[in-house]
Chain A
């Protein structure tokens, strides 16, 4: 099994990449100068999330009544918590099929962003380290 060694401590940069990817979908790749990849990911995840909000309204983000879905939705960006703050009062009720579809779209967008965060951190780790000589 190949062992890897780092030229410098990569943890702060990895943390920054993960944080950037969470705040803005594709942000982790942008920090690594992967502009095209970052752009594709940003546009796709933002469109999927917005489509979910359009179908089910912002009421689909429900931090009280649908907590498990909310954990997946907040993976899109911490800004989702702002929407959650407004909808927590129950002022935007949504039920049945639109609610289901909205939750599925917004949560899938969040889980896709989680995949991108993990992948961008792993990519940054590989670039900051080199194989250790046996």
Chain B
């Protein structure tokens, strides 16, 4: 038991390897999930499983879509500037 705890703790003392590539942008998704869930947990007057899930998913999708649109616009501006 102690050894297992020591192994788990050791995982938190050395950083993971993250490369600078398009796939690393996927690390955004867990953060957006956390923001959507916590925000909805504070805002809903009554929490029921169905309603909470629906509201969180809608907020999650809204944030992701808005960020995609922002990325596309910024890419377009960058493309125009370079051209």
Contact = CB atoms under 8 A, between A and B. Distances in A.
A43 B16 CA distance: 22
Given A48-B30, A101-B27, A104-B31, A40 B16 contact: no
Contacts of B15: 55-57, 59, 94, 98-99, 102
Interface size class of A (residues with CB under 8 A): 20 to 34
A94 B41 CA distance: 33
Contacts of A36: 47
B16 A45 contact: no
Given A48-B30, A97-B24, A112-B34, A57 B12 contact: yes
Interface of A: 36-37, 40-41, 44-45, 47-48, 51, 53-59, 92, 94, 97-99, 101-102, 104-105, 108-109, 112, 115-116, 119
Interface of B: 11-20, 24, 27, 30-31, 34-35, 37-39, 41-42, 47, 52
29 contacts: A37-B42, A37-B47, A40-B52, A41-B38, A44-B34, A48-B30, A48-B31, A51-B30, A53-B12, A54-B11, A55-B18, A56-B15, A57-B14, A58-B12, A59-B13, A92-B13, A97-B24, A98-B17, A99-B15, A101-B18, A101-B27, A102-B15, A105-B31, A108-B34, A112-B34, A112-B35, A115-B38, A116-B38, A116-B41
